[in-house]
Amino acid sequence: MKFRAIMGALCAAGLMCGVSAVQAAESVEVLHWWTSGGESKAVGVLKDDMTKQGYTWKDFAVAGGAGAAAMTALKTQVISGNAPSAAQIKGPLIQDWASQGVLVPIDSVAGDWKKNLPPEIDKIMHADGHYVAAPFSVHRVNWLYINKAALDKAGGKAPTTWPEFFAVADKMKAAGIQPIAMGGQPWQDLTLWEDVVLSQGAGFYKKALVDLDEKTLTSDQMVGVFDTVRKIQGYFDAGRTGRDWNLATAMVINGKAGMQFMGDWAKGEFANAGKKSGSDYICAAVPGTEKSYTFNVDSFVFFQQKGQKAATPGQLALAKTIMSPDFQEQFSLNKGSIPVRLGVSMAKFDDCAKKSYADEQVAIKSGGYVPSLAHGMAQPDAAAGAISDVVTKFMNSQQDSKSAVAALAKAAKTK
């Protein structure tokens, strides 16, 4: 009687109507690392949708951009037999987890996914011929965010080449503006470094970071990449050690710094702060990367739950919701990304998202659509981690570019 009374009250309040008691009782534990202002708003859309469907959302948020800390927490949970219902996993890591036999397929809600996803991305959501992951959105990594007022003081034109970039940075410096806001974690170093690799052309990027081709990794051009990174570092402030990415974004939002190299989750921060692209800030492709697109697709995988053979109703509801057109739109509007589901209207999105969408279509056709190494899309963990160590060591010491390149070639062989 008491239970029915509670259900009745919830129904009257617009919650949990028309769902069975079994569903109402299921709580879905969700592990993710979306804890910045924009990220929290975006994941909040999923939480609200699930709550409306009668599920209890158990938030397992592990702070730390790009998810290194979240991945450590996840391993501990799974080893101790307490796997969450769903976790934020992407790229080749999806296959890794699937090969451990701990994931459940979600095919029953993925009937129309194949025709609604770009083939490159549809493939990543599979293991052994089954869908085991649900994709949220597409983030473009190779962006440069620029404070509009700072840019106006530095000539007003977003740089499209490295010489133009350094000219703008010098002008900002001369105007008393900190040219670059940079955070201080290995993944942020790697994000900048892969941007510079990409500026050598998508073909060079693919050979270096997808094929791990030794000749490309040890080329003079790669030495030049490290030289450029070193030069860019000359425009960082002294306080970057340990700084989170969103605090660096806040420096650009508040006009304390002129520019930030960051994927478009940074746009979620601008949006959350009420800033508008075009008038408050500019989004530009990283110099030399206009025709290329480093993609980063977030997804959830679903862990087998105690006493269950297949995906639970809550897990299936999560997967179904994530790929629904309405959710795809609302999530990306908050997250700074674009919907991964094809055919979702871009009408409500800002100019930066529209540019991201248009550039994505061009890059897919021209071969410029490449997976981000820094965001777990290009290589398994071991090789990506070893390369990241090389880049971070270089950026936090006085190592010369030639010895960094030698270390890079060695790191790429890590299995």
> Rounded to an integer, what distance in angstroms lies between the CA atom of residue 370 and that of residue 322?
24
To ligand GAL, the closest distance from the beta carbon of 260 in angstroms equals: 13
Q: With contacts defined by CB under 6 A, how many residues of the chain interact with ligand GAL?
A: 12
Residue type at 411 in one-letter notation: A
The answer to the question of residue 33 lying near ligand GAL (CB under 6 A) is yes
Q: At what angle do helices 381-395 and 220-233 cross, to 10 degrees?
A: 60
Among positions 139, 140, 207, 243, the unique one binding ligand GAL when judged by CB under 6 A = 139
The answer to the question of residue 34 lying near ligand GAL (CB under 6 A) is yes
To ligand GAL, the closest distance from the beta carbon of 190 in angstroms equals: 11
- Give whichever of 319 and 374 is closer to ligand GAL, judged by the CB atom: 374
To ligand GAL, the closest distance from the beta carbon of 65 in angstroms equals: 4
Tokens representing 28?
């879905």
Among positions 66, 98, 333, 404, the unique one binding ligand GAL when judged by CB under 6 A = 66
Q: At what angle do helices 401-411 and 220-233 cross, to 10 degrees?
A: 120
The answer to the question of residue 50 lying near ligand GAL (CB under 6 A) is no
Longest dimension (CA), the chain: 76
What does each C-alpha distance from 278 to 147, 158, 288 come to in angstroms? 10, 11, 21
* Strand 133-140, strand 293-302: pairing: antiparallel
Among positions 375, 378, 383, 391, the unique one binding ligand GAL when judged by CB under 6 A = 375
To ligand GAL, the closest distance from the beta carbon of 139 in angstroms equals: 6
Closest CA to 282 of 358, 352, 353, 235: 352
Among positions 292, 296, 328, 392, the unique one binding ligand GAL when judged by CB under 6 A = 296
| DSSP state at residue 29 | E
> Rounded to an integer, what distance in angstroms lies between the CA atom of residue 212 and that of residue 205?
9
Residues 6+ apart with CB under 8 A from 388: 186, 187, 189, 190, 374
DSSP characters for 355-411?
HHHHHHHHHHHHT-EEE-TTTTSSS-HHHHHHHHHHHHHHHTS---HHHHHHHHHHH
Q: Looking at 19-27, 65-73, 226-234, 235-243, which segment touches ligand GAL (CB under 6 A)? A: 65-73
The answer to the question of residue 298 lying near ligand GAL (CB under 6 A) is yes
Q: Are 125 and 312 in contact (CB under 8 A)?
A: no
The answer to the question of residue 360 lying near ligand GAL (CB under 6 A) is no
> Rounded to an integer, what distance in angstroms lies between the CA atom of residue 95 and that of residue 83?
17
The answer to the question of residue 65 lying near ligand GAL (CB under 6 A) is yes
Instruction: Name which of residues 238 to 267 contact ligand GAL (CB under 6 A).
Output: 245, 265
The answer to the question of residue 394 lying near ligand GAL (CB under 6 A) is no
Q: Looking at 60-68, 253-261, 347-355, 386-394, which segment touches ligand GAL (CB under 6 A)? A: 60-68
Q: Looking at 62-70, 209-217, 310-318, 380-388, which segment touches ligand GAL (CB under 6 A)? A: 62-70
The answer to the question of residue 39 lying near ligand GAL (CB under 6 A) is yes
The answer to the question of residue 331 lying near ligand GAL (CB under 6 A) is no
Q: Are 125 and 131 in contact (CB under 8 A)?
A: yes
Instruction: Give strand ranges (E) for 174-238.
Output: 178-180
To ligand GAL, the closest distance from the beta carbon of 326 in angstroms equals: 20
- Which residue shows structure tokens 């991945």? 71
Q: Which residue is nearest to ligand GAL (CB)?
A: 65
- Give whichever of 166 and 295 is closer to ligand GAL, judged by the CB atom: 295
- Give whichever of 148 and 335 is closer to ligand GAL, judged by the CB atom: 335
To ligand GAL, the closest distance from the beta carbon of 244 in angstroms equals: 9
| DSSP state at residue 109 | G
Backbone phi and psi for residue 110, each to the nearest 5 degrees, phi listed first: -110, 25
- Give whichever of 69 and 342 is closer to ligand GAL, judged by the CB atom: 69
Q: What does the per-residue mask of binding to ligand GAL show for 81-120, with x meaning CB under 6 A?
A: ----------------------------------------
Collapse the DSSP code of 60 into the 3-class scheme (helix H, G, I; strand E, B; otherwise coil) and give the result. Answer: strand
Residues that bind ligand GAL (CB under 6 A): 33-34, 39, 65-67, 139, 245, 265, 296, 298, 375
